[in-house]
Amino acid sequence: DGGITQSPKYLFRKEGQNVTLSCEQNLNHDAMYWYRQDPGQGLRLIYYSQIVNDFQKGDIAEGYSVSREKKESFPLTVTSAQKNPTAFYLCASSIRSRDRVNTEAFFGQGTRLTVV
């Protein structure tokens, strides 16, 4: 079945360690996104990528890094520079319409990261 797979679902790390969250999609979507969700809040954009080997910072990119070496994969690294990394992280991808503008965004199941 086609979809977006995030792994792992739960992740625990010690403070000061970098950690990488996986996001894979087999929908043949060009665009991929990473969002952060905190309790009682909406989704805030961390990074997004429109094509392979290209990505742009979102609203809260500080302390995060990404790569887009393959169309199917968009891993997110939470670095030790991120001051408050404990959160629910969501990956999404979207298709492009004929006018080359993204349409709907489809989400993975999320990764809950807890830093202790």
Partner 1 sequence: GQQLNQSPQSMFIQEGEDVSMNCTSSSIFNTWLWYKQDPGEGPVLLIALYKAGELTSNGRLTAQFGITRKDSFLNISASIPSDVGIYFCAGRGTGNQFYFGTGTSLTVIP
Interface with partner 1 (CB under 8 A): 4, 6, 31, 33, 35, 40-45, 48, 50, 58-60, 88, 90, 92, 94, 101-110, 112
DSSP annotation of 16: T
User: Residue 28 or residue 109: which is nearer to partner 1 going by CB?
Assistant: 109
Q: How far is CA 64 from the centre of its chain?
A: 10
Shortest spacing between CB 63 and partner 1, in angstroms = 16
Contact criterion met (CB below 8 Å) for 104 and 92: no
User: Residue 67 or residue 102: which is nearer to partner 1 going by CB?
Assistant: 102
User: Residue 80 or residue 112: which is nearer to partner 1 going by CB?
Assistant: 112
Shortest spacing between CB 27 and partner 1, in angstroms = 13
Shortest spacing between CB 87 and partner 1, in angstroms = 13
User: Residue 9 or residue 70: which is nearer to partner 1 going by CB?
Assistant: 9
The tokens 């520079």 sit on which residue?
A: 81
Contact criterion met (CB below 8 Å) for 48 and 34: yes
Amino acid at 80: S
Residue 55: in which H helix or E strand, if any? strand 54-57
Shortest spacing between CB 31 and partner 1, in angstroms = 7
Task: In whole angstroms, give the CA distance from residue 33 to residue 55.
Answer: 9
